[in-house]
Structure 1
Amino acid sequence: NDIGGDIKNVLSGENRVSNIVQYSTPALGDLVTLNAAFIPAENNDIDGDGDPETGLADTISVSLVAEKDMFYGAIAHDADMTDELITDETGTSPTIDITRVALGLKPGNFEIGALFQTAEETEADGEETSYILSGAFKIDRVKLKAQYGMTEGDVSDEEATQVSLGADYKLAKASKVYAYGTQLEFDVADTEETIFGIGMEHKF
């Protein structure tokens, strides 16, 4: 996550909240897991009305995940999440609702992924639609990766696109080095950014 070419550049919904209460069911039928969570308001004035929010479950998040062998699928929804839209932000709504569907396949040395998301402001008219497509191919210790992402704003007509290419080299079971390049563009704003990165990852 948190690298310059991350999909959060074109996709709303990456949140790292301070406190969350969540329950995940055991795998049902050795395939499906249901996750349900709520985020306490913690007395913050989210909507800017001068009164702190005190609700126990002002933000709710649920997901249904199916995972078996080479298949992964998930559908998730966030309600009243404190966040902003990428392309259609009006500046008048502190929270958004997000619905996301993700699919992944790993046949042999190939990996294929697809994601579709809709996000809308809960107290304003901003709304956007996002698509992410990704693929990877593993050759011995090397994994070659490619990803394309696009988000379209409904009110602003803004369109953000991001294309990334990268490669991982596995040093050991828990360690790898990686390199990537990303091109990020916003159509209406007429801006673009080229990002390159190298790094090392070790899982403790």
Structure 2
Amino acid sequence: MKHLLPIILITLLFSCQNTAQVNSKQQAIIDAEPVIVPLKDGKARAYFASGCFWCVEAIYESVKGVEESISGYSGGYSNNPTYESSNTGRTGHAEAVEIIYDPNIVSFATLVDVYFGSQNVTQVNGQGNDRGSQYRSIIFYQNDEQKQIILEKKEALAKKLNVKVAAEVYPFQKFWVAEDYHQDYERLHPNHPYIQNVSVPRLNRFKKKFPELIKRSH
């Protein structure tokens, strides 16, 4: 029985993850009207999900015009998601980042380019070995203009690479800030094995691809 239990748990887990995106509660989120986040002190906010938020946070914070990147959860239907609950695949949420940026320095369109240019665009429900609906790729829009930018770039990329781009396109609803220990994780834990073997290589690949976008301090 001890040998069977992990198999049963894994089966249930992946079952939950695979259905998290298609139930009626999730569909209501996908069909909702987007919420517009107003400028604050001249800074705008954008929201992206692209695998582990430790990786994505560090990538965006290396970009000129980005003031801060905050790790959290978005795209789901449950309130007050936690790291533990989102990992069950039953909340509908994905690990996401809130990007606080100066629109006079970097545009939303460029942030979308950063998004596509820093991930495996064909991988469904994950990035690398981080797999499950909580690691799926989602780009969130707050208005029709942003939605059009996302869809045009997604279509152009699919045509250019002759692949199906996995990223989902959602109306932004709400961003839930993750637990304190997740924030600035790469900077605060540079010797962590995951950071050394996954996050830093992913960041370096991005920097090599977009050197013109990188802050001098990086």
When the two structures are superposed, what TM-score results if normalisation uses the length of structure 2?
Answer: 0.23
Larger % of helix: which? 2
